[in-house]
Amino acid sequence: MLYQIYEAHRSLMEPFADFALAASKLYSNPLSPFGQHPFAQRISAGYDLIYRLGKDYEKPEFGIQTIGEDGVEIAIQERVVLDKPFCELRRFKRFSDDPRTLETLHGQPAVLIVAPLSGHYATLLRDTVRSMLRDHKVYITDWRNARMVPSEAGDFTLDTYVNYVQEFIRHLQGRYGNCHVISVCQPTVPTLAAVSLMASRGETTPLTMTMMGGPIDARKSPTAVNNLAMNKSYEWFENNVIYRVPPGFPGEGRRVYPGFLQHSGFVAMNPDRHLLSHYDYFKHLIAGDDASAEAHRQFYDEYNAVLDMDADYYLDTIRVVFQEFSLVNGTWDVRAPDGKLERVRPQDIRTTAHLTIEGELDDISGAGQTEAAHALCDGVPKDRQKHIEVKGAGHYGIFSGRRWRDSVYPQVRDFIARFHDVPGAPAQKAPARKAVAAARRSTGLARTSAASTSSRKRASGK
C-alpha cells in the first residue's frame, strides 16, 4: 500500500506545486501588481522553494549538443543503437565539417560507459560523458525505470545485467575491433563479472577496464551504505523495501524497489546538508544571485530524479555483493541466456589492462573496495594495472566536477591511450568477428535488428 499512498500524495501535491510556480512568477514580475509588494522578492523566493520541494522530477536529458576541441565546434547527436527491455545502449555520435577533425575523431578509441543502476538515471554521468567525448567514441548504458517496463518483458536480475554488459561489449567489438570499458560505482561488480566470463570462454576481452568507486570487496572499509546492506537480513529487505507498481504505469504489478524510497535514503544520509542547501537557494533568490540559484536547480533536477529498480536485481545485488561477497569468495555463478550456469573467474583475465579509481573521502564505497579488483585479476601483468586515489574527492568527485575534469579524466584518457592500438594488443580484426558472432549465438545474444545493421553501415564511426 505504501506505493499507492505515495502516488496519491504526489497527485494531490501536483496542483499545489503548479500554483506555487505561478505565484512565484507573479511576485517576481515587476510589471505585475503583485510585483510591487515591498516583500515581493521574498514571497517569490518562498513560493519558488515550495515548488521545487513539491514538484515531480522526471528523467533529465543529457543535453550535450556540442563540444569544443582545439577551437573547433563538434556537434553531438544522441542515438539508441541497441534497445533492450530494461536498457538502451546510447551512442553520442560526433559530427564536424572540418576534414582534419573528422580524421582525428575516426581514429579515437571506442568506450563503453556502464552507468549505475542504483537509484539515479544515467544522466548522473553527464559530466563524465562530456569529458570523454573530447577524445573518444562514447556509448553509455541508459537504464530504464522498472515501473515503465511491462510485466510481460520478464524479470531483470543481476545475471541479466551481466549478460547485457557482455552483449554491449560485443556490439562495440564487432564495430570497432575492440573497445574500452568504464564502470562507475555499482556496475564495477557486474562489469568485472562480464569481462571475466568472456575471458573464461576464450572471447576477446576489452583492451582496458576502468573501475571507479565500486564495491568490488565491500568488506574493506565498510561505509554506512555497506553496513545497512550487511547487517539487515535478505528477508528484511524483501519484506520492507519491495513493493508492487500501482495501476497507471506500464509495469503495473511488477515488484520493485521504488525510487521514492531510495531518494529518502539518499537524503537521510546528509539531511543537514540538504536543508542548508535549500536555505542557501532561498537566499540566492532573494539576493538575485541567478548563477548560484541555477546551479542549485541543475543539481537537484538530477539528484531528485530517481527510478524504480526491479526487485530481483536489487535483492540479487544485496545478496551477492554485500552479504555473500560471492565475487571475492570465488562462489558466484551467473546464468547465461541459454540457461547455463558459469562461474565468475577474474583470474582468467589475461590481457585487459585494469585501472581502479577511489576518492579519499568517499562515503559510499570505502577505501580499498575498488582496488581489490587487482588482487582478483592476478592473471593480468602488474605493468597493465594501475590504482589512483583522488585526494580530497568524495564519491561524486571522481566522475563529476572540477576534480574529475582537471585531475581524474586526464589520467583515464592517458591510460586508455597507452593500451589502444599498441603492438600485441588483442585488437579484433575483421576475420575474427566470426568468432564473436559464434559466441553471441552460443549465448543467445545475436539479436541485432536489420535496422541497426543498416545504420552501422551508414555511420562513419566518428
- Tens-place pLDDT, residues 400-419: 999 999 999 999 999 999 99
Give the pLDDT of residue 115: 97
Average pLDDT over residues 426-452: 39
Counting residues of the chain whose pLDDT is more than 90, the rounded percentage is 76
Better pLDDT: 317 or 457: 317
The label of the residue with cell 536543508 reads 275
Give ranges for CATH 3.40.50.1820 in the chain. Answer: 66-237+310-458
pLDDT band at 4 (very low <50, low <70, confident <90, very high): confident
First to last CA, the chain: 50
Strand partners, 357: 212, 388
Give the pLDDT of residue 263: 87
| Cβ-contact 344, 196 below 8 angstroms | yes
Q: What is the DSSP letter of 85?
A: T
CA distance 210 to 207: 10
**What is the longest distance spanned by two Cα atoms in the chain?**
76
CA-CA distances (angstroms) from residue 34 to 44, 48, 49, 92, 159? Answer: 10, 15, 18, 46, 58
Please give the backbone phi and psi of residue 303, each rounded to the nearest 5 degrees, phi first.
-65, -35
Average pLDDT over residues 367-374: 96
The dihedral region occupied by 280, where left means phi > 0, alpha psi between -120 and 50, and beta the remainder, is alpha
Fold (topology level) of 66-237+310-458: Rossmann fold (3.40.50)
Q: What is the pLDDT of residues 219-254, one digit of tens each?
A: 999 888 888 889 899 999 999 999 999 999 999 999
CA distance 54 to 47: 10
Q: Is the pLDDT of residue 433 over 60?
A: no
| C-alpha cell recorded at residue 360 | 579519499
Does the CA dihedral 271-276-279-285 come out positive or negative? negative
Give the pLDDT of residue 457: 36
Give the pLDDT of residue 422: 54
Instruction: Report the DSSP pairing between strands 309-310 and 255-257.
Output: antiparallel
Better pLDDT: 96 or 162: 162
CA distance 175 to 428: 10
Q: Is the pLDDT of residue 423 over 90?
A: no
| Contacts of range 34-38, beta carbons closer than 8 Å, 24 or more positions apart | none
Does the CA dihedral 343-204-208-395 come out positive or negative? negative
